[in-house]
Structure 1
Amino acid sequence: MNSANRQRLCLAAAWLAVAVALPAAPVTFQTDVAAVISKAGCNLGTCHGNATGKGGFKLSLRGGDQDYDFAALVQDQFGRRVNTLSPDESLLLLKATQAVAHEGGKRFAKDSWEYRTLREWVAGGAQRQSPGAPTLVKLEVTPREQFLIEPASSVAMKATAKFSDGSTRDVTKITCYEVVNVAVADVSTDGRVTRKETGETTLLVRFLHLQEPVRLAFVPARPGFKWANPKPHNFVDEHIFAKLQTLRMNPSELASDEVFLRRAYLDLLGILPTAEEAKKFVNAGRDALPRVQPRARGASSKAAPQRGPTDKRAALIDELLERPEFADFWALKWADLLRVEEKTLDAKGMQDFHRWLRASIASGKPMDQFARELIAARGSTYANPEANFYRANRTPVIRAEAAAQVFLGTRLQCAQCHNHPFDRWTQDDYYDWAALFARVDYKILENNRRDKNDKHEFIGEQIVYLSRKGSVTNPRTEKPAEPRFLGVAKQDFEKQDELEALAAWMTRPDNPLFARSQVNRIWFHLMGRGIVDPIDDFRATNPASHPALLEALTKEFVRSGFNLRHVIRLVMNSRAYQTASEPNDTNAGDELNYARAPLRRLTAEQMFDTLHQVAGVSAEFKGQPAGTRAAELPGARIEGRRGRRAQMSPDVFLSMFGKPPRLLTCECERSTDTSMGQAFFMISGPSVNELLTRSDNRLAALLDSGRPNRAVVEELYWTALTRAPSATELAKTTAHIEQAKDRRAGVEDVLWGLVNAKEFVLRR
């Protein structure tokens, strides 16, 4: 070895000796100890992070309040949990290693890095914070998204923490990992995710107070897969198809005209096309129908449309968007969300509020204006119906939660008692937001409740106004909260009152929260699942299935002037919306990526109205004009029959099929689940039987018309299923009628079979 190499070797050895001699970075509570407690699961809701703690020991949920946790560990119970003179005798270590009885079991071994970390901290005096210690500012996780195609079956995560002094640290080993869809994958303690079956899942990666989601997809190899290369109708399809191709999944075929027609009527109007409308559409040529061009912002829905040539599906969408039933059906969705029901609002307030909602939809009122009018509302609940938004939400925290969930797609409820465990919102954010609504008050002009047994909260007019005083106390600080918008450091209300300022901030074009949540809600109602799902739970740990598509739709919504019909038209004209529900070999298991249309049971109002429509009978609702449909009802409940005929009550039917009582500000209150009770209701219940046997229904008219059985059957199929019967169906049903002792009974049997078919009950 020459002298130069010897010098280099000696220099390297000297540097190595210095490095080894340098003391390791001191263990700190705010970074190391807190990480060990989280990694061991001690601060989860099932353990000491529970609201009441466990075994007399309580920690903040998922380490959301380090000051509280430090006091609980070091100061509570006379400091018996740590022993700085004899660290190994600390109850903190004895319990975790199960050297003494511990209901939570053994969390780590005595020779583990967790034990060494905690012991070093205790031996060093169990200090709260080292002077000048840097704080965590960012968590970086790689990869952020990964598609693993068989035979690839696992991927290792790497987590890097960035601190306020610019330093970084590999925290992969001490980070917490949680797989959302445990049927798809498992994750090891060191962050390696392994496939259990093909599918998609989100991995939540958490270090201290920061969380990052990772989207993972385990894709089957599908040997011989060939992309079908379907032609996109618009940018919606470009985003959908790009992901499907990556997943080696082809979309289903385009739905037939019959299926598309039925789907469009149900989604936009809540009813079925008549037999005549269905035949005309199906038999029309491609360019037989003109298209209504989109209206400019602020234009009346009754303005004369400009027409141009296009295909008949686009023309149908335009036509349906201008029908009065569209306003009825989409006002129903908002009536659910805004809790339009008689118990809280009284009969007149309920009717006036519903009328205002319907008029807003019918006139094409921009959705930003719609939201502003609700948030800034005040005055008489009769003269200014939008003020009923506050009559339905009587306390600051309820108003705050409702406004955030409906208009911003944010669920704040978890932050009421502690920092949100899965979102960025703190307890301070929650109460500062609630303080925006603290001055809302009511002047009750009259209260005409009959007696103490009257279920109405109030009956009579009320005035909603802003009081001079009003505050919300933050239980953490025990001081009045400072009114503040979500995610905004401080707010000045000198030029506007809180509600006016909030309404303006919420609907600003550069505020993505409002537009994004409304687009996602529209998408959900048309496609059956939100791009973010649940649709009112936007957070980093609940990522969108198609984030670029959501962003593109949001920008288009804002560009259009927050035009509801524009976004509906855009989505419905996409091939993704018009895809059939029947799966192919590649997409049978897909529920996330819109490769095929999902099957959904009709809603309560759709079931009720279409049954009456098919039977040719108008429903009767007490106190409502003749011909009123269930979708037009202003409230949640209607007065129905009592006693032996109660099962024939519209209220009983609608409740059975999931109409919500409107006690919650959440789409989740409405149910479209199926049940045995619903099946028995349809198969043998008196409601359906009464519709079929009435002497003035559609069957009576068909039989009196003198049509042959074949024509009667064809008419019933077009009316109930929006299609012609197949040759086999026609032969069997016609034979059944001819063999029946009573022709009327035979025809009733056919219609009974049609309305109990999956094809009728489901939106395909």
Structure 2
Amino acid sequence: MQHTHRALLCLSLCLAASVRAEDKTAREASFRQDIMPVLFRAGCNAGACHGAAKGKDGFMLSLFGYDPAGDYFRIVDDMAGRRINTAVPEQSLLLLKSTGAVPHTGGKLFDNKSEYYETLRRWIAAGAPDDAVDVPDTVGLELSKKHIVFDGGTGKDSLRVTALLSDGSKRDVTSLARYHSNNNSVVQIDEHGHITAGRSGDTNVFARYSRFALGTSVIVLPSADGFAWPNPPAVNYIDTHVFERLKNLRIAPSDLCDDETFLRRVTLDLAARPPTVAEYRAFMADPRSDKRTVKIDELIASDTFADYWTSIWAEQLRVMGGNYAPDATPVKAADAFYEWIRRQLRADRPLNEFVREMVTASGSNLNNGPVNLYTMLVHSPQFTPKAFAADFSQVFLGVQLQCAECHNHPFDRWNMDDYYGFVSFFTGISRKSGVESREQRIFFNTAAPPAMHLRDERPMPAKVLGAIEPVAAGGDPRRALAAWLTAPENEMFSRNLANRIWAQLMGRGIIHPVDDVRVTNPPANEPLLQALAQRLVQSNFSLRSLARDICTSRTYQLSSQSNPSNARDRQQFSHAALRRLRADVLIDTVVAVTGMPRKLGNFPDDTRAIDFYPRLEVNTEGPKYGDNFFKTFGASSRASVSSTEIKCAPTLSQTLHMAVGDTIEPRLSAGGTLKALVGTKATPDEVIEELFFLALSRRPTTQEAQELRTLIGPETKNPQAFEDIFWALLNSTEFIFNH
């Protein structure tokens, strides 16, 4: 009996100790370390729910929990007693809605047996305390695996997520993180971090916790049966990195394109026009083994190469001029900016120096071209530092920093402190009237205050991205910004430039889109991008040098014809991409092959489309094309700096325009090249061959020549038949696309 009493006493003491331990745990529950992660995991503070700008159904939380103090107030103190019931925790609206016990727009998030429910209930039962002292903050994440490979298209795996805390400790947050896959058809990841392979390919899966996201690369290999690596020769470092990646993915690159395809491709890419008939004949007759490299060097050395890139930079920098331009962007200012860009690129000025001069520029918008970075990157009657900072980071760094204006960036490492510190580089930019009415003088007012933080109105001194301390006070902070931005060791800058140059020549960025650089949008081939950026720095930021490297690589010269292993590849450059010609290149190509010019608004008659920018009778705010052809064929409207402004996808309206619009038909019947050919060539076969040279940079096949000769019939000097043939060639996919 005595033993029984002792046993019962021990049991009672153990139960009491357990209760005390639970009470201690509840009392020590951390709002920031325990409650906020549950709200994040359940999606309560996501943008589609209570983390929206105006909240949801009368309740608002900070997006992904960037403002814990504000969230605590809104949960506990705002409308006290409505969301939290410390007397009967189970009756708290926070729990009832989360478990679906009462109507909830977001539906049931978890049940009352889950760890999330229990964490919230214990906290509420303890009186829903706020953190009495500072608790360790999350300063980073670790994933259990950096790379995962599934062989043969099947398999499962899982990730564990560890939070790194500011006090040096670590915490397993696998059950509190959120997960997503960049390509669910290749691999899926569920809410527990379990990964399931799909079809063959490569992608990344990500875990997000607190303000951090971290990814793991995943490769799903196709079956090895029947695959043999062809071991293509590498011409340079580009091929080395591309082929290594393809070999690891069991993707065989396509063969080299033929000489005709290469000549047309490289001339369109480097000179923004098709090769002439004389160039075609000379290249095809050239017996030298290095004739492709010779042609590349010839084209890159030409002024036309620089002129084409002037057009590309002018689009990115939103160069436009208006006769009524209260926002300091008259045509004279636009001309000054455009011609300054052209001079720099024709001289192959190092791109970092080119950018540095723009960033630090001051003076007259009419006489000092680069100062128009501050009048044209954002077209507005008044300079707006926030809008300018966002566009500046997107153009020169590829970073969409505007996502951190009202909350921490939801998909990258940048927070509101980074955003407002960066804006402060431009808060002193001012304008004053010059000698004449069109002139504005741009200067930096060193007395201007820095940007104020949105959350607490703290002044935020100018600070470069990724830095802890602001730049030195006093003077014009743009000098420090330019020095940091364009320094050889700033990989953000060199990688952005290298990626944009690559995308222009290859049809897709290694990071795609090129102006959406973030942790959750990693490079398709990190070693390749790193090598390109390093090469750009080593060449003293020479555009011509990097373009030459790309064009001389075997990767650039691959055929667009796919093989069974690379037919589905869209991001590893195993074959050339089919690229519809840019609007400006297309109209210049039509003019070149027909020999008939086209008038472009407010420019001289012989102006090439690549030398055109919108000159307007009105102001330059809003989307502007300057010509309806550019609008139809997806030229940038210059309404923003986004790379998506340029659209190269074919549309029905483009097809109709080419078939029945005023671009092709009038140039066939009005004379020009076609009339001269019909009048001078001895035979129809010679005319047909010449038309193929002009339009497609190749000879007609035997079948094509025979069928077209039959179409002409006995009327060998009838221009109508040749007009029909030329019209068909210019409306072909082969003409409109670079392949």
Residue 620 of structure 1 and its aligned partner are, at CA, apart by: 2.8
Q: Which residue pairs with 1:74 in the alignment?
A: 76
* Rounded Cα–Cα distance in structure 1 between residues aligned with 2:315 and 2:153: 47
* Correspondences of 1:73-92 after superposition (within 5 Å): 73-92=75-94
Q: Pairwise mapping of residues 712-751 of structure 1 onto structure 2 (< 5 A)?
A: 712-738=687-713, 743-751=718-726
When structure 1 is superposed on structure 2, of 158-167 and 534-543 the one drifting more is: 158-167
| Shift of residue 217, structure 1, vs aligned partner | 2.3
- Which residue number corresponds to residue 104 of structure 1? 106
1:31 to 27, 30, 33: 33
Match of 2:158 in 1: 156
Instruction: Tell me which of 688, 694, 699 is aligned to 2:674.
Output: 699
**Matching of residue 463 in structure 1 with residue 441 in structure 2:** yes
Residue 500 (structure 2) pairs with residue 521 (structure 1): yes
1:504-524 Cα deviation digits (max 9, x unpaired): 111111111111110111011
Q: Which amino acid aligns with 2:259?
A: D
Work out the CA distance in 2 between the residues paired with 1:707 and 1:230: 45
Deviations 1:82-141 (A, max 9, x none): 122221111110110111111111110011111111111111222222546433232111
Match of 2:348 in 1: 364
Deviation, 1:195, is 2.8
**Cα distance in structure 2, aligned partners of 1:741 and 1:698:** 17
Question: What SS is found at the alignment partner of 1:77?
Answer: coil
Determine the structure 1 residue equivalent to 2:547: 568
2:647 matches 1:671: yes
Alignment of 1:184-583 (within 5 A): 184-287=186-289, 311-343=290-322, 345-392=329-376, 393=378, 394-445=383-434, 460-471=438-449, 472-494=451-473, 496-583=475-562
Write the distance in 2 (CA, Å) between the matches of 1:40 and 1:740.
77
Give the C-alpha shift of residue 477 in structure 1.
1.6
Percent identity for Structure 1 against Structure 2: 37
Superposed displacement of residue 22, structure 1: 7.2
Do the aligned partners of 1:213 and 1:542 also contact (CA within 8 Å) in 2? no
Q: Which amino acid aligns with 1:663?
A: A
Q: Which amino acid aligns with 2:428?
A: R
Counterpart position of 1:137: 139
Alpha-carbon distance in structure 2 between the residues aligned to 1:22 and 1:72: 29
Residue aligned with 2:663, SS? helix
Structure 1 range deviating more: 476-485 or 317-326: 476-485
Contact 1:636 1:661 in 2 (8 A): no
Change beyond 3 A, Cα 1:499–1:163: closer
Q: Distance in 1 between matches of 2:526 and 2:389?
A: 27
1:585 maps to which of 540, 564, 573: 564
2:5 corresponds in structure 1 to: none
Distance in 2, matches of 1:20 and 1:510, equals: 58
Is the Cα–Cα contact under 8 Å of residues 253 and 566 in structure 2 kept in the other structure? yes
| SS of residue paired to 2:627 | helix
What residue in structure 2 maps to residue 166 of structure 1?
168
- Contact kept, 8 Å, 2:205 with 2:218, in 1: the verdict is yes
Whether the aligned pair in 1 keeps the contact of 2:398 and 2:496 (CA below 8 Å) is yes
The residue type equivalent to 2:401 in the other structure is: L
State the distance in 1 between where 2:20 and 2:452 align: 53
Equivalent residue letter for 1:461 = E
Distance 1:684 1:151 in 2: 49
CA contact (8 A) 2:177 2:209 kept: yes
Contact 1:227 1:248 in 2 (8 A): yes
User: Where does the alignment leave 5 or more consecutive residues of structure 2 unmatched?
Assistant: 1-16, 619-624
Which of 662, 668, 683 is equivalent to 2:638?
662
Contact 1:336 1:667 in 2 (8 A): no
Q: Which moved more, 1:413-422 or 1:478-487?
A: 478-487
Q: Secondary structure at the match of 2:40?
A: helix
User: 1:755 is matched with which residue?
Assistant: 730
1:636 aligns with 2:614: yes
After alignment, is 741-750 or 427-436 more displaced?
741-750
| 1:587 Cα deviation after fit | 0.4
**Aligned partner letter, 2:731:** N
Residue 333 of structure 1 aligns with an amino acid whose one-letter code is I
Secondary structure class of the residue paired with 2:80: helix
Question: How many residues end up aligned between the 2 structures?
Answer: 703
Could you tell me which residue of structure 2 aligns to residue 653 of structure 1? 629
Asked if structure 1 preserves the Cα contact closer than 8 Å seen for 2:178 and 2:191, the reply is yes
Asked if residue 609 in structure 1 is aligned to residue 588 in structure 2, the reply is yes
CA contact (8 A) 2:150 2:197 kept: no
- Which residue identity is paired with 1:265? T
Kindly state the Cα deviation for residue 739 of structure 1 after the two structures are TM-superposed: 5.2
Distance 1:506 1:132, change over 3 A: closer
The answer as to 2:575 corresponding to 1:596 is yes
Q: Given residue 698 of structure 1, which amino acid in structure 2 is its aligned partner?
A: T
Helix, strand or coil: the match of 1:465?
Answer: strand
| Counterpart position of 1:456 | none
Please list the CA deviations of residues 640-679 of structure 1 after superposition, one character each: whole Å capped at 9, or x if unmatched: 9xxxxxxxx9812122101222121122211112110000
How far off its partner does 1:593 sit?
0.4
Identify if the C-alpha distance between structure 1 residues 58 and 22 changes in structure 2 by more than 3 Å, giving closer, same or farther: closer
The secondary structure found in structure 2 opposite 1:687 is coil
Aligned twin of 2:117? 115
1:128 aligns with 2:110: no
* Pairwise CA distance, 1:222: 4.4
* CA-to-aligned-CA distance 1:454-498 (integer Å, 9 cap, x gap): xxxxxx111111124323332212243322111212234357521
Q: 1:753 to 1:233 in 2, by over 3 A?
A: same
The offset of 1:687, in angstroms, is 2.3
Residues 474 and 166 (structure 1 numbering): CA distance in 2 closer, same or farther, change over 3 Å? closer
Distance 1:276 1:19 in 2: 92
**1:241: Cα distance to partner?**
0.8
Unaligned runs of 5+ in 1: 1-17, 288-310, 449-459, 641-648
Tell me what 2:11 maps to.
Answer: none
1:165-200, Cα deviation, whole Å (9 max, x unpaired): 333232212211112223333322111121343333
Three-state SS of the structure 2 residue aligned to 1:538 is: coil
Kindly state the Cα deviation for residue 410 of structure 1 after the two structures are TM-superposed.
0.9
Partners of 1:405 and 1:598 in 2: CA distance? 25
Corresponding residue for residue 302 of structure 1: none
Is residue 690 of structure 1 aligned with residue 690 of structure 2? no
**For residue 377 of structure 1, what is the amino acid of its counterpart?**
A
1:305 aligned residue: none
Partner of 1:308: none
CA distance in 1, matches of 2:80, 2:284: 81
The whole-number CA distance in structure 2 between the counterparts of 1:62 and 1:146 is 28
Q: CA RMSD in A?
A: 2.2
Q: TM-score, normalised by structure 2?
A: 0.92
The answer to whether the 8 Å contact 1:95/1:102 transfers is yes
Aligned mates of 1:341, 1:113 — CA distance in 2: 58
Which residue is 1:454 aligned to?
none
